[in-house]
Structure 1
Amino acid sequence: MLLTQYALFTSLLAATSQAWLPGEHRQIISRDGVDLFNRSSLHEAGLLRKRYLPDNYGNDKNAIRGVNLGSLFIVEDWLSDDVFKGFGCSNKSEFDCVLSINDQDKANRDFRGHWGSWITKDDFTQMVSYGLNTVRIPVGYWFLESIVDKSEHFPKGGEHYLDQVVGWAKDAGLYVIIVLHGAPGAQATDAFTGQLNPTPGFYSTYNYDRAYQWLEWITNKVHTNPVYSTVGTLELVNEPERNSDTAKYPDAKANTDSMRQTYYPTAWSKIRAKESSLNVPSDSQLSIMMMDQKWGSGDPKEYLPDLNLAAYDDHQYVKYAGVAEDKDAYLRFSCNDDRSGNWPVFVGEWSLSVATDVEWTDEWNPNRDENKDFYRKWWAAQVISYEKTAQGWVFWTWKTSGSLNDPRWDYKMGVAAGLIGTNIDSAYSMGACS
């Protein structure tokens, strides 16, 4: 799952040269008699470092429990169609929006208004009240404006708002994962990259070099800016191409090979070199995350220079898993869904959305009272599975807006609608997987 200080206490452990993984053991006692898995013990012993664990990581299951901040720094029209509509711009992607506005100053003002208001400090207080301990923040490469080409059209001024949001998360005691969600050239042909390229253009020396600069920039901020003190994991790229994409993109397999053989190990080395130049001790280094092997791009760890503080991201949208359109089938699937594989892993994206062709029928409509018990149990089943076979989860997403109006994609709305519990531990007493 993560957490940047896996190696925090390795010198205290009796016999291991490998970083300790939260959740791997329920109790680890140091030579000095300190329970290294107990936050109170660590405070008393004066051993707890800034980025070790989220404030309430000591929940009953020792699990990451979080939400994504989707559509905040990379607007996705399907999640928040009112944003681009309010700007009066193309709704295809951020690139297309800025291009269609044809006025950089206006585009900057529009996006700064969104960044400064769509998520507020109160949101983080609310997250904590729901028992959440982590946020995953999708960010585009254009937040480092010096690496944006003149031919590329993106809003400017985002760094200040990223600092602000990360600071709010820190103030709330939330652990932060920052992910390169929009890579230079686009790692996929989807608007979640910030642009809609006809083919993925990320997999080249030029764009890898720009991504390395972005990773070094974020790494420097984490270790030099106090508001980043609860940022512990940096994800190298979100949802890259898969090997199976060759039917649509003949270069897909070559691209995924290039990513694993060149981008991943070089990015790893760049991050560690930056930390070394800043004299960051090994027990304060960032955890480095990649999509897991289940994603379909090959084994991410195959060419890494080492595995210390490596972590893996697994995305599981049951909506697309081909499950029979039957509520019991959904529950059985999720109760038996083993997400283990590359380790440590957590489910970094998931939702309560069901198959598209039935999602708004009477039998599946989440707004009908007779269906809410199913959604509560299915939420519980996924929580149980992702905490049992992985090391926790991050729901997609915290908030939506505009016409989507679907609590199955919106954690806040899901809680308000009674589909998601405010006491996450209650998932284990709902009988979802009995």
Structure 2
Amino acid sequence: MRCCFWATASLLALGPAWTRAAGQQCRLQVNAATGADSGDSSSGTGTGSGSGGHTSASETSTATSTGASSTPTLAAFDYAKEKVRGVNLGGWFVLEPWITPSLFEETGNEDIVDEYTYGQLQDQDTALEKLTQHWETWYTEDDFAEMEAAGINHVRIPLGYWSVPLTSSDTQGYTHTDPYVPGAWPYLLKALNWAKMHNIHTIVDLHGAPGSQNGYDNSGQRTGNPQFAVTPTNVSRALDTMVFIAKEIGGMVDVLELLNEGAGFRGDDWASNIRQYFQDATTAVRNVAPTDMTIMIGDAFLGVQSWDGFLTSGVGKVIMDTHDYQLFSEPELERSFDEHVSVACSNIETLTSYAHDNLWTVVGEWSNAITDCTLWLNGRGIGARWDATYVTPTSYHGSCSSYTGNSDGFSDEYKTFLRRYWEVQTYVAEQVTGWIYWTWKAENADDWSYQRGLAGGWIPQDPTDRLYPNICG
């Protein structure tokens, strides 16, 4: 019998929606949340606008076998007909120095640059204390209530593999997480419950994979030698992690994203191994997941065109996640406001032509930022290309002071552009299945914060409101 690893106090804090059912090996049971499709999940196709493929059933509320209250119910989302309008919950379960710089500054150690070194280079008890405080406060139910009021229908929750409590009975591989500090799992459960309570669908995203899938701090480890895709034991650990999530809490997860931003650009071995991982993980998850749970894959920086014909039949519902930023290279930074808008519009043909014959397609990360000015956006201790403080020589484009940080310093012209830029990117993404903004909040980067955009007026309270209805002509 599997050991029960959730602390009683943590579970009680989640409220009556979370119950244990007898005979389930202490597995957390989530009832009436699967919205199971009456059809065979293996027979459909995760299609875009071309062939449809799936009929979503409404969820019904049922009592648990122990007589406890049922979970909040939420009608299944129809990705063939409805538009995803979402936000990422960045910096919560995978630390990023630019989102929460205070967590890193208070360590007093400039060598702590990511979540890996956060656990490695300071006392573990201290790290756990600080992280616990962060998990308890960075997002609360109030945030979910604000999102609901702003018309948000999805949240994407980045998660590190180290936060998923695998035991030896869940894997034939390793279970240790050193030097990462585990403990976020109960807070993920809270988030899933809050989302359902506020009519928001959830995407749980493997944002930090074993060995790092891209070498960026957003994978949990900033390194020039990421090892995820070229180390079989790391891939196996990721597979087991996906199976665990699907089996244990799949009933509360609408979409399970198998990997964020895998570095397909690192060579053919990385690209082919990521493809194989997606295939293997899809099969493994389908064997244990609720029948109506959707799977999401990413384009691995290769562009959606590189995935033509991939996972289009016999695997149930699948979504393609592609990310779009215009700020991490010199040519992008040189663009005028109008050119940023024009380039966004030019993406419509690529996205729609792929989605028509392949998978539903979501722009799963994008933002209002057009500079890399935000403190530590390129990594702790690394400057910006925009003002030529980057690690390699770049052109000087101007001062960073009026493009990021507190929006009180933003000009009216810039705020007007931010509204145009928000509208064009949502318009483009809604030509396919929709969008998920990065990120809901940041300590000191209003150009990246959906929450601050709402307060500042460049993001509308109703995401269907348009000041520029014909923005792409």
TM over 0.5: yes
How far the C-alpha of 1:302 sits from its partner, in A, is 3.8
1:95 aligns with 2:102: no
Q: How does 1:133-152 map to 2 (within 5 A)?
A: 133-146=153-166, 152=178
Q: Out of 138, 141, 148, which is 1:118 matched to?
A: 138
Distance (Å, rounded) in 1 between the aligned partners of 2:205 and 2:97: 20
Q: How does 1:3-402 map to 2 (within 5 A)?
A: 8=37, 18-19=44-45, 52-53=75-76, 62-89=82-109, 90-101=111-122, 103-146=123-166, 152-203=178-229, 204-223=231-250, 229=252, 231-243=253-265, 245=266, 252-261=267-276, 263-275=277-289, 280=290, 282=291, 284=292, 286-292=293-299, 295-296=302-303, 298-299=306-307, 302=310, 306-320=314-328, 322-323=331-332, 324-338=334-348, 339-340=351-352, 341=354, 342-356=358-372, 357=386, 358=397, 360=399, 367-388=410-431, 390-401=432-443
How far the C-alpha of 1:272 sits from its partner, in A, is 1.6
2:170 matched to which residue of 1? none
> Residues 143 and 165 (structure 1 numbering): CA distance in 2 closer, same or farther, change over 3 Å?
same
> Residues 113 and 294 (structure 1 numbering): CA distance in 2 closer, same or farther, change over 3 Å?
closer
Preserved contact between residue 93 and residue 135 of structure 2 (Cα < 8 Å) = yes
How far the C-alpha of 1:254 sits from its partner, in A, is 0.9
Preserved contact between residue 398 and residue 411 of structure 1 (Cα < 8 Å) = yes
Distance (Å, rounded) in 2 between the aligned partners of 1:411 and 1:419: 9
Preserved contact between residue 155 and residue 202 of structure 2 (Cα < 8 Å) = yes
SS at match of 1:139: strand
Say which structure is richer in helix: 1
SS at match of 1:166: helix
Preserved contact between residue 264 and residue 301 of structure 2 (Cα < 8 Å) = no
1:249 matched to which residue of 2? none
How far the C-alpha of 1:433 sits from its partner, in A, is 3.2
> Residues 146 and 22 (structure 1 numbering): CA distance in 2 closer, same or farther, change over 3 Å?
same
2:375 matched to which residue of 1? none
> Residues 128 and 371 (structure 1 numbering): CA distance in 2 closer, same or farther, change over 3 Å?
same
How many residue pairs match? The answer is 386
RMSD of aligned Cα (Å): 3.5
1:422 aligns with 2:435: no
How far the C-alpha of 1:105 sits from its partner, in A, is 2.0
Distance (Å, rounded) in 1 between the aligned partners of 2:175 and 2:223: 15
Residue-by-residue CA offset, 1:186-236 (whole Å, 9 max, x unaligned)? 11111111112331111221111111111111001224xxxx53x211111
Unpaired stretches in structure 1, ≥5 consecutive residues: 12-16, 31-35, 246-251
How far the C-alpha of 1:149 sits from its partner, in A, is 5.8
> Residues 95 and 293 (structure 1 numbering): CA distance in 2 closer, same or farther, change over 3 Å?
closer
How far the C-alpha of 1:307 sits from its partner, in A, is 3.6
> Residues 52 and 253 (structure 1 numbering): CA distance in 2 closer, same or farther, change over 3 Å?
farther
Q: Out of 444, 447, 452, which is 1:413 matched to?
A: 452
Preserved contact between residue 258 and residue 278 of structure 2 (Cα < 8 Å) = yes
Identity of aligned residues (%): 28
Preserved contact between residue 59 and residue 74 of structure 2 (Cα < 8 Å) = no
Residue-by-residue CA offset, 1:43-99 (whole Å, 9 max, x unaligned)? 89x9xx956535xx79xx831000001100001002211122234454311110111
SS at match of 1:108: helix
Q: Which segment drifts farther, 64-73 or 362-371?
A: 362-371
> Residues 198 and 293 (structure 1 numbering): CA distance in 2 closer, same or farther, change over 3 Å?
closer
Preserved contact between residue 322 and residue 362 of structure 2 (Cα < 8 Å) = yes
Structure 1 length as normaliser, TM-score? 0.79
Preserved contact between residue 156 and residue 202 of structure 2 (Cα < 8 Å) = yes
Preserved contact between residue 264 and residue 300 of structure 2 (Cα < 8 Å) = no
Q: Which segment drifts farther, 117-126 or 234-243?
A: 234-243
The amino acid across from 1:273 in the alignment is: N
How far the C-alpha of 1:134 sits from its partner, in A, is 0.4
> Residues 430 and 368 (structure 1 numbering): CA distance in 2 closer, same or farther, change over 3 Å?
farther
Preserved contact between residue 295 and residue 314 of structure 1 (Cα < 8 Å) = no
Distance (Å, rounded) in 2 between the aligned partners of 1:373 and 1:209: 48
> Residues 122 and 77 (structure 1 numbering): CA distance in 2 closer, same or farther, change over 3 Å?
same
The amino acid across from 1:349 in the alignment is: E
Residue-by-residue CA offset, 1:313-336 (whole Å, 9 max, x unaligned)? 010112247345211112222233
SS at match of 1:375: helix
Structure 2 length as normaliser, TM-score? 0.72
> Residues 354 and 360 (structure 1 numbering): CA distance in 2 closer, same or farther, change over 3 Å?
farther
How far the C-alpha of 1:152 sits from its partner, in A, is 2.3
Preserved contact between residue 178 and residue 234 of structure 1 (Cα < 8 Å) = yes
Distance (Å, rounded) in 1 between the aligned partners of 2:163 and 2:257: 16
